[in-house]
């Protein structure tokens, strides 16, 4: 879809399907969205549900402290008050809707049943391409193509059917495939992070830089280092900086300002203070002791 057409459909959805109502359940929609190039968003949470349909692309979805791989025809459900994040290097074609129950206009028994969605063990479903949720969502977006006042009721009705279908999509009886095992950070990931740090020490490297390169959250990167090396990523970076500096002091005649720069320290005075604190003697005496 062209950018202008995408915005038009998104606008019509937000106009005609801001609130949906049925015989027993009604919903308040916070927003509808169609983003053909979604990359990263910060770790955050909502007071409402947010469902996302991955049409194409690959990435990672973090729900609380668990990470799941993203691929085409994946459905996500971010539940109220749960920290979550989407990350992608190549970009995702993502459709999404944020909503909550309109309790005063819903039947109490039906509302109680829908609230059970918050306690579902599922937050990710795979292979949803031909399930009711995906079929309804595609029909809804297609209906928004030719929106006018006359088909507004149909658009609202289809939107309501989609929100109802989400309950079934995240129950044991769903036609979608269950979530894959949580994403495990491999030994290969650990090696990639270590090599990146060693190759980029002179760039005044930070944990955020490494996390961005690895396409992980800073929290996940720290967990990777703690589990594999029993040190924080920050501590590992600092250790590698000092190891490089000590090697250059012992095996070169470079001045301390250049050594500090090559080891990733912007200030030779700060480098000298850190080195002295770690090794117990200043860089000059360390060199003379070789």
Q: Which fold has domain 187-288?
A: Arc Repressor Mutant, subunit A (1.10.10)
| Beta-sheet strand order (sheet of 26-38) | 19-21, 26-38, 92-101, 49-56, 74-78, 124-125
Interatomic CA distance for residues 129 and 117, integer angstroms: 21
Residue extents of the structural domains in the chain? 3-169, 187-288
pLDDT for the residue numbered 174: 52
DSSP string computed for 225-241: HHHHHSS-HHHHHHHHH
Looking at residue 98, its pLDDT comes to: 95
The fold of 3-169 is: Jelly Rolls (2.60.120)
What pLDDT shows up at residue 212? 80
**CB of 61 within 8 A of CB of 76?**
yes
pLDDT along the chain (290 residues), means of 10: 78 89 93 94 91 95 86 94 92 96 93 86 88 94 81 90 90 53 60 87 86 79 84 91 91 91 90 91 84
Task: Give 176-181's long-range contacts (Cβ < 8 A, gap of 24+).
Answer: 176/75, 176/125, 176/126, 176/127, 176/128, 176/131, 176/133, 177/125, 177/126, 177/127, 178/122, 178/125, 178/126, 179/68, 179/122, 179/123, 179/124, 179/125, 179/126, 180/68, 180/69, 180/124, 180/126
**pTM greater than 0.85 (yes/no):** no
Contacts of 260 (CB under 8 A, 6+ apart): 245, 267, 268, 270, 271, 272
3-class secondary-structure state, position 190:
helix
pLDDT given for residue 176 in this prediction: 52
> DSSP class of residue 178?
P
- 3 state SS of 53: strand
60 and 67 in contact (C-beta within 8 Å)?
A: yes
Report the pLDDT value the prediction gives residue 290, as an integer from 0 to 100: 62
Alpha carbon distance 217, 91 (integer Å): 17
Say which residues have a Cβ less than 8 Å from residue 65's Cβ, sequence separation at least 6.
219
Report yes or no: 87 and 116 within 8 Å, Cβ to Cβ. no
């Amino acid at each position: 879809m062209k950018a202008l057409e995408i915005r038009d459909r998104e606008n019509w959805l937000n106009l005609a399907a801001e609130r949906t109502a049925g015989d027993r359940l009604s919903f308040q929609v916070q927003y509808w969205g169609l983003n053909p190039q979604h990359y990263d968003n910060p770790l955050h949470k909502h007071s409402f549900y947010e469902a996302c349909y991955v049409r194409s692309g690959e990435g990672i979805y973090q729900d609380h402290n668990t990470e799941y791989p993203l691929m085409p025809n994946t459905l996500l459900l971010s539940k109220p008050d749960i920290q979550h994040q989407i990350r992608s290097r190549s970009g995702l074609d993502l459709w999404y809707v944020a909503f909550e129950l309109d309790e005063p206009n819903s039947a109490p028994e039906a509302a109680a049943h829908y609230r059970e969605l918050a306690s579902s063990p599922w937050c990710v479903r795979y292979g949803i391409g031909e399930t009711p949720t995906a079929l309804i969502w595609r029909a809804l977006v297609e209906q928004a193509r030719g929106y006018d006042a006359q088909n507004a009721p149909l658009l609202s009705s289809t939107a309501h059917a989609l929100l109802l279908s989400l309950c079934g999509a995240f129950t044991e009886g769903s036609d979608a495939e269950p979530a894959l095992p949580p994403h495990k950070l491999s030994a290969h990931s650990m090696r990639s992070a270590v090599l990146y740090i060693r190759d980029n020490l002179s760039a005044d490297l930070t944990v955020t830089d490494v996390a961005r390169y690895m396409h992980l959250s800073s929290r996940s990167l720290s967990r990777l280092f703690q589990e594999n090396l029993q040190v924080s990523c920050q501590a590992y970076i600092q250790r590698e900086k000092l190891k490089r500096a000590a090697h250059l002091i012992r095996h070169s005649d470079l001045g301390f300002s250049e050594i500090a720069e090559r080891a990733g320290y912007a200030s030779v005075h700060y480098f000298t203070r850190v080195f002295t604190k770690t090794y117990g003697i200043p860089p000059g005496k360390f060199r003379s002791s070789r």
